[in-house]
Structure 1
Amino acid sequence: MKSFSFRAECAADVEGFRQARDRHGLATAWEVHPDTGGLPDVEVELKSTSSLKVLREAVHEVIDGHVMLQTLRECPLADNSLERDYDLH
């Protein structure tokens, strides 16, 4: 299993990603961390046998999932800067 992590604008975006994951039959284990600063943002760490490319394809199906797409990286949450890569859309 590989480690991935990302930031989402809200829990509803993560739920949209979970639904896309299920439609694609992707096996993942999730750990969601709410923002402690009072924002609706959440940080997610997941384990999966899927590739980064396949996970990004699933994120593309999420309406307004751009923050997840731009922060999704193959690394543990502790190693992810969560900075957005604005070249991804």
Structure 2
Amino acid sequence: MPTLRRLGEFPRIDINDTQVQASVKIDDGCDHTARIIWAMNNKRRMSTGLSIEHPDAPQVAPVKIEPIKKPRKRGYSVVEKAIGAE
């Protein structure tokens, strides 16, 4: 199921699309610390019988969409010198 989101001034995009994930890095700007701690205490809540909803992730920074920087491909100079390729 596609997850369509409106990110800033950009139109609605499917953030789980493989082409989108391969070309850009999406930072939603939310603080997920409370949710991570809530998930770590999951087994404790199950054993005590508590039922607490997961906390919200407040927006702390603007949404950022950055292109993924591809690493520069380097030649294997040691191997090329060994085989005599120049």
TM-score, structure 2 normalization: 0.26
Greater Rg over alpha carbons, structure: 2
Higher RCO (CA < 8 A, seq sep 6+):
1
TM-score, structure 1 normalization: 0.26
Identify the structure with the greater strand proportion: 1
